[in-house]
Amino acid sequence: MYDGGKIIAGLAVFVLLFTFPFWYNIGNAAYTRPKLELPKEAKECVEKTEWMRAEHMQLLNHWRDEVVREGHREYKSMVAGKTFNKSLTKTCMKCHDNKEKFCDRCHNSLAVKPYCWDCHVAPKGEK
Residue 68 in the binding site for another protein (CB under 8 A): yes
Residue 89 in the binding site for another protein (CB under 8 A): yes
**Ordered DSSP codes for 77-90:** -SSS--EEE--III
Distances (CA, A) of 70 to 59, 63, 66, 73, 77: 15, 10, 5, 9, 19
Q: Give the nearest distance from C-beta 67 to another protein in angstroms.
A: 8
**Is residue 11 helix, strand or coil?**
helix
Residue 120 in the binding site for another protein (CB under 8 A): yes
Residue 1 in the binding site for another protein (CB under 8 A): no
**Which residues sit at the interface with another protein, rule CB under 8 A?**
64, 68-69, 71, 73, 89-90, 93, 115, 118-124
